[in-house]
Structure 1
């Protein structure tokens, strides 16, 4: 901005632009362009000092701003106003000719156009023009997202040698699925919000159950589905008596809703879940196994009483380690067991004698299980095992011969002279004598010597080929001599040999059941 003071002393403001400024320079120079000069490099702002501009003489011509060519590029130019003249009040104000009016001049030589200076930060004082380089605008802080994008772009543009390899994240290891009943299995269930009981809810539930019991030909799937969902919503409001009657009716249905059955068997009240767990044959084994994992003893005992129990459900019930549940399970003739489950039951029976009689008397108990359990049984059950699981035939004789040939043992008569050494021998020596007498391992001989019942001794002497008189001479001093003589009379050489063979396999941990028996 520039201001001049005319005769009346009142300033008139004029706007000086770049075009008007160049036109004014041409006018002051007589229409001749100034010589071209190359501007030197701009020094630092702090070293630049404003040069002194010579004062213009007083001239009737209105003062205008003049700019001299300075050695420094774009330096501040200061224009001094003319001396203020005294004016009288009421005088007229002379106007300054507009420098923007066109002036007819000869064609000038081409000029070097200097860059337009930027507007100063603040307006200069009156009659003073200061052209300063524009101050750089303050950089606005970038958003964190923008900075991250910019850094990624710089990394992508940088050479491959300067790039730092980013380690790849390994996919998470896929763990093996945990089955229900295992230690790592955790089942989460959504608990329903408790609602107040409504006596009329029971009547509505039975009406809905009637709709669900209609045969498929007489109802639509959408009707049964809606009735089922409505019934499930009514269950939290039904009284205990109505729920018990509902569970009993569901047990009689041929194809009940699995969602309804699952809801009832998971009810914590045994009056509601008990009838389904014991009597309903339409419950899936997967739902029953899930109930086993809860560890409720009352529910486990009821499931062990079911008319039909699959091997998978039997395995889940055995893993509960509840003696009463195992007792109900072993007594249930409708329960099926795998051979591994049978061996596990044998170990439980060795620790809990209450399981021994039901396990030995089962119809599906294999003979190896009974022979392994023989050492833990009382005398009455031992005689039952000898009478039930042993038999004699020509085929058995052939098989025993093949087994002896396979073991590399020659079939020969026993050395009965060893019997005279039994009375004076120690317990360890007696085991070695029995092993040499009946051609078994030392471990099996030691077990025969340690047995206090007398049944194992009777079997060994029968397999050694003793007569009844010779056997009586060995056992006459025992209190149970007469009972042992009766057992000796019922045994045959092949029966005794079969039982010794299984005992020898178990002692040496060989044969098809060695791994299972040792587990």
Structure 2
């Protein structure tokens, strides 16, 4: 038999050869743009990508660590490594500046909780990436975003977090401190959180309306003389006005005043008739009054009492009339708020709540 002189098939590259070639290609990919053309970088990146598909985790992690420091690294290669096992992806997720918002949003939607958590801890997190991270509802990720001063939160993202915070005081505590939280959002959250968090909300968001009152001082008589009242102006002035009670209602009420009604309620409880009349006298929506009376704490009634000029005694009557068995605790919580809040700030809170309910009733 004739001897087979055909060349032997090439042996597969040893791990050492693959490691060396991978390092060399990574060096080329990481060259600055002044030393390599874009077409050359993409070509080398394609070969490197194929090598990494068959490489072990340790080698992939080494390349990922190199690429994390490069601002001009090939995007396709970066995205694949950023979706890789967390050990491989971690350096890119933490500090790569070459990952775009689109890349990070894709990672947030399709990778593990550890990937999302690392993105939330980046030095800078854009509004769009933060929105994608928060959408998953993961408590650890939301906590990391709220603790990250470099994360920017869009209003819609804050709305998502408000819903989560309503059931988790730890999230609420962080959210209340964020600069993106708006008064309407904070005062909506108020109803769902504990007593100490309620005081935090009031301390920060119960602002004075003095600047509005000064600006609108000469608008009140002008609006009153208009033949066809402007609804939007009337609503705005109602929010700004220093007066809370409905004076015309007080002239015809069978109870003589809001105080007289509360004295009656403390004796027989807040019947449906008394609730309806109290809402009219206090000049607030009936649904808001019901919510304040039925609330687990005394703070809302303290705000109502302060905003309408009631005394401490009548605040106690409000709580007694609510018929709650934990009236003593409600009184203590209420007095704490009543004694530390000004009339103007109490009116600000009350009118925010009333405004939201009125708009909701109209379907705005």
Q: Name the TM-score, length of structure 1 as normaliser.
A: 0.55
The reply on whether 1:506 has 2:356 as its aligned counterpart is yes
Q: CA–CA distance in 2 between the matches of 1:215 and 1:415? A: 77
The answer to whether the Cα contact below 8 Å between 1:198 and 1:237 also exists between their aligned partners in 2 is: no
Deviation by residue 1:17-73 (Cα, 9 ceiling, x = unmatched) = xxxxxxxxxxxxxxxxxxxxxxxxxxxxxxxxxxxxxxxxxxxxxxxxxxxxxxxxx
Partner residue, 1:453: 297
The answer to whether the Cα contact below 8 Å between 2:265 and 2:317 also exists between their aligned partners in 1 is: no
Distance 1:231 1:295, change over 3 A: closer
Q: CA–CA distance in 1 between the matches of 2:118 and 2:14? A: 28
Q: Which runs of 5+ in 2 are unaligned?
A: 1-11, 221-230, 248-256, 321-326
More helix by share: 2
The answer to whether the Cα contact below 8 Å between 1:431 and 1:447 also exists between their aligned partners in 2 is: no
The reply on whether 1:317 has 2:317 as its aligned counterpart is no
The reply on whether 1:232 has 2:75 as its aligned counterpart is no
Distance 1:429 1:362, change over 3 A: farther
Displacement of 1:404 after TM fit?
A: 10
Q: CA–CA distance in 1 between the matches of 2:262 and 2:14? A: 81
The answer to whether the Cα contact below 8 Å between 1:428 and 1:446 also exists between their aligned partners in 2 is: no
The answer to whether the Cα contact below 8 Å between 1:396 and 1:494 also exists between their aligned partners in 2 is: no
Partner residue, 1:266: 83
Q: CA–CA distance in 1 between the matches of 2:287 and 2:32? A: 67
Secondary structure of the structure 2 residue equivalent to 1:479: helix
The answer to whether the Cα contact below 8 Å between 2:302 and 2:338 also exists between their aligned partners in 1 is: yes
The answer to whether the Cα contact below 8 Å between 2:265 and 2:271 also exists between their aligned partners in 1 is: no
Distance 1:471 1:220, change over 3 A: closer
Distance 1:400 1:486, change over 3 A: farther
Partner residue, 2:147: 331
Which of the pair has more CA radius of gyration? Answer: 1
Q: CA–CA distance in 1 between the matches of 2:334 and 2:34? A: 70
Q: CA–CA distance in 1 between the matches of 2:30 and 2:361? A: 55
Partner residue, 2:335: 485
User: Which has the larger displacement, 478-487 or 419-428?
Assistant: 478-487
Distance 1:431 1:322, change over 3 A: farther
The answer to whether the Cα contact below 8 Å between 2:71 and 2:98 also exists between their aligned partners in 1 is: yes
Displacement of 1:357 after TM fit?
A: 1.5
Residue 258 of structure 2: which of 410, 415, 425 is its match? 415
Partner residue, 1:406: 234
The answer to whether the Cα contact below 8 Å between 1:199 and 1:238 also exists between their aligned partners in 2 is: no
Distance 1:434 1:247, change over 3 A: farther
Aligned residue pairs: how many? Answer: 319
The answer to whether the Cα contact below 8 Å between 1:205 and 1:234 also exists between their aligned partners in 2 is: yes
Displacement of 1:429 after TM fit?
A: 4.8
Partner residue, 2:223: none
Partner residue, 1:256: 73
Distance 1:313 1:434, change over 3 A: farther
Secondary structure of the structure 2 residue equivalent to 1:238: coil
Residue 212 of structure 1: which of 25, 29, 32 is its match? 29
Secondary structure of the structure 2 residue equivalent to 1:321: coil
Give the aligned CA root-mean-square deviation in angstroms.
3.2
Q: CA–CA distance in 1 between the matches of 2:188 and 2:174? A: 15
Q: CA–CA distance in 2 between the matches of 1:434 and 1:479? A: 23
Distance 1:342 1:484, change over 3 A: same
Q: CA–CA distance in 1 between the matches of 2:112 and 2:136? A: 9
Displacement of 1:376 after TM fit?
A: 0.2
Q: CA–CA distance in 1 between the matches of 2:209 and 2:168? A: 35
Partner residue, 1:7: none
Displacement of 1:487 after TM fit?
A: 1.8
Q: CA–CA distance in 1 between the matches of 2:232 and 2:55? A: 71
1:85-234 correspondence runs (5 A) = 198-234=15-51
Secondary structure of the structure 2 residue equivalent to 1:216: coil
Distance 1:399 1:481, change over 3 A: farther
